[in-house]
Amino acid sequence: MQYLSQKLNLSADEAEKFWPVYKNYTKEVETLIAERHNRRQQDRTLPGDADDIAKRNMDNDLGYEKRMYDIRSRYTNEFQRVLPARKAGAVFKSEREFRTIMLNHLNNQRLNRINQGGNFRKRP
C-alpha cells in the first residue's frame, strides 16, 4: 500500500476513495489465482494422454487470461471514477514495478543464501 501510495502520489481524499476499490480488485484477482491453482491441482488427477492434458491446460489458461483481462478492464474504469486519469493509468504499471522489485529482492536473497552456503545443509 505504501509503495502504491507513493508512486501514485495519492492525496488523502484520493486514497480514501481508491483503497476500497483497490482492495476489491485484489480480492477478485486473488480468487481467480486460487481458482486457477485449484483447477491445475484437480487436472493432475484427471485421466488422459499428454496431448489431452496439454489441450485442457491451454483451454484453461486462455479462460484464465480472459477472466483476468475482464477484471482489469472493469477496474480500469473503477479506478478512473475515483482517481484522475493519469493516476488511474499508473495503477497497473506501479503494481508490476512493485512485483518486479519484490521478485528481484527474493531472488537476491536466495542467491545470497546459496553463495554463503545457505540453510540447505541438513542439521544434525
- Chain segment 8-56, per-residue pLDDT in tens: 999 999 999 999 999 999 999 999 999 998 888 887 777 777 788 788 8
Q: DSSP state, 122?
A: P
Q: 85: which 3 cell numbers?
A: 486519469
The DSSP H or E segment spanning 109 is helix 91-115
Q: What is the domain range of residue 23? A: 1-118
Residue 13: per-residue pLDDT: 95
pTM of structure: 0.77
Q: Is residue 52 part of a domain?
A: yes
75 vs 81: CA distance, rounded Å: 9
59 vs 103: CA distance, rounded Å: 28
94 in Cβ contact with 3 (< 8 Å) = yes
Domain count, the chain: 1
111 vs 103: CA distance, rounded Å: 12
Q: Is residue 123 part of a domain?
A: no
Q: Is residue 111 part of a domain?
A: yes
| Other CB atoms within 10 A of residue 47 CB | 6
The pLDDT tens digits for 49-88 are 778 878 888 888 899 999 999 999 999 999 999 999 999 9
Q: Is residue 53 part of a domain?
A: yes
Q: Is residue 124 part of a domain?
A: no
Q: Is residue 108 part of a domain?
A: yes
